[in-house]
Amino acid sequence: MANSKIYLHEIIDIVGTGSDAYKRATASLGLGRRDGGAPLVGTFQQSGSTGDWPKVVNLWEIGDWGDWARSLEKQYTRSSGQAPELKRWWTDATAHRSGGFDRILEAAPFSPSRADLLEQRVQGRACLQEIATTLPGKAERYLEEVERHWLDKAARRGLRLMGAYATAMRDDEAVLLWCLPGFGQFTRHLSDLRTSRATRRWAERARKYRVSYRETLLVPSPWCVVHPDFRDEPPAAEGTDRGQ
């Protein structure tokens, strides 16, 4: 069944050494939800050797456009104000973050949902994130090319698709997330990226639609659906669970 959900993708600027505390706080808000809110797909550490640091990346599965409208109402309607729990969370989170950048993502039809990732047991300790700038109006076409000409080849290189999205409110950006078993598979993929016949052919095809792209390594926390130790429940008190 085609994925028609939308997602919130966040890149968070972390204050000092607050990454672990912020990921834990995010998990406490987004896992085991019974309030109908957007469930957390994952909270990740961006590897400083591949991009800006310190950064945390969060991915939330909102549901549909109506769900996002209800979320906006809860956050910004003056007559009601923020729910007390959410207000407390925002206040506490400011100790660990200084800002960030968010985007709303529309899932490509072939992109797995949160439930699909759990059912298919897509698991790993490394994730590859691609944020691609495409020619104007070509983001969805680029994703179609990924499905037709790269998905199977990527799988043979150890990359399992975690998400494929077009960025809403613009027509020239796509986001791809891939899960790999570990860092060895990640570096092996990179080692022959410029020389493998399969990857060279894919790059040539991608350039017809993709102007540029940036890849970063994301390290999933135990509060990511792809982490082998994931459980869909809020973390226990600090120092009593599986760590960050």
Task: Render pLDDT for 166-216 as a digit per residue (tens, 0 to 9).
Answer: 999 999 999 999 999 999 999 999 999 999 999 999 999 999 999 999 999
For residue 112, the Cα-to-chain-centroid distance in whole angstroms is: 12
Residue 50 lies in a domain: yes
Residue 159 lies in a domain: yes
Q: Which domain holds residue 43?
A: 6-220
Residue 162 lies in a domain: yes
Query: How many alpha carbons fall within 13 Å on the CB side of residue 208?
Result: 12
Bridge partners, 127 (sequence order): 179, 218
Structure pTM? Answer: 0.93
Whole-number pLDDT of residue 243: 45
Domain of 162: which CATH number? 3.30.70.100
Residue 241 lies in a domain: no
Pair 208, 97: CB distance under 8 Å:
no
Residue 198 lies in a domain: yes
DSSP assignment of 124-190 equals: -SEEEEEEEEESTT-HHHHHHHHHHHTHHHHHHTTPEEEEEEEETT-SSEEEEEEEESSHHHHHHHH
Rounded CA-CA distance 64/3 in Å is 10
- pLDDT tens digit sequence for 63-83: 999 999 998 988 887 655 566
Least Cα distance to 216 among 126, 153, 125 occurs for 126
Tally the domains of the chain: 1
Q: Please tell me the least confidently modeled range out of 67-81, 127-141, 230-244.
A: 230-244
Residue 228 lies in a domain: no
**What would the mean pLDDT of 209-234 be, rounded to a whole number?**
97
Pair 224, 44: CB distance under 8 Å:
yes
Residue 140 lies in a domain: yes
Residue 111 lies in a domain: yes
Q: What percent of the chain has pLDDT over 70?
A: 92
